[in-house]
A and B are shown apart, each in its own frame.
Chain A
């Protein structure tokens, strides 16, 4: 158990819909990262938050957005879903200095039908 929790574990929805994925980082970790794993693109970084502020942006579509709340949990919002958004979405957290191992949650498997 990495200490990072993600909900839900599985999500099945239809094209055009909107979903929210939730992540709670390890206690004390201020950085939260979102990654997407799809069959054709592999594991790709989407977005990073640090202590409530956006710190880095990767290959995140405009239809996707995220935020980190004062209690440090984070949500990833995916809207106008397409078949190609079906993927495993991971959240990771880390401290900001020293041993900055990123610990990954169990992932949310999104299926868009």
Chain B
């Protein structure tokens, strides 16, 4: 099955710093989602981005499907950005997602 690798596993940032999180996947996909899991355990949808680039406020994401990777950019980080960021992929749109192990982000004031 599809393998998903996320890097780095852990990241500590000063408030206001920028960061880039990476997701590599082993096969072609037609579904790729980025999630933020907050300290209460909620999985919050950030992006549905099987290809191309999207932006939402301080967050943006790019997926290069032909090279099998996706990047999540966080700019001007805030303490509320802390949590675990997951990348999840699926071979087609309505199939189960395979999750990476996540990147744990800690933003300190």
Interface residues of A (CB under 8 A from B): 2, 31, 33, 35, 42-45, 48, 50, 56, 58, 88, 90, 92, 94-104, 106-107, 109
Decide yes or no whether B94 CB sits under 8 A from chain A.
yes
Most buried by A among B41, B45, B48, B94: B94
Interface residues of B (CB under 8 A from A): 31, 33, 35, 41-43, 45, 48, 86, 88, 93-99, 101-102
Nearest A residue to B31 via CB reads A100
Main SS at interface, chain A: strand
B42 touches A102 (CB 8 A): no
Give 8 A-B contacts (CB < 8 Å), ordered by A residue.
A31-B94, A45-B96, A96-B94, A97-B93, A99-B48, A101-B45, A104-B35, A107-B43
Partner of A56, one of B31, B45, B86, B96: B96
Most buried by B among A48, A94, A98, A106: A94
B86 touches A43 (CB 8 A): yes
A contact residues around B95 at 8 Å (CB): 48, 56
A104 touches B86 (CB 8 A): no
A contact residues around B94 at 8 Å (CB): 31, 50, 94-97, 100
**Chain B nearest Cβ from A24, distance in angstroms:** 17
Cα of A31 to Cα of B43 in the assembled complex, Å: 18
A contact residues around B96 at 8 Å (CB): 33, 45, 48, 56, 58
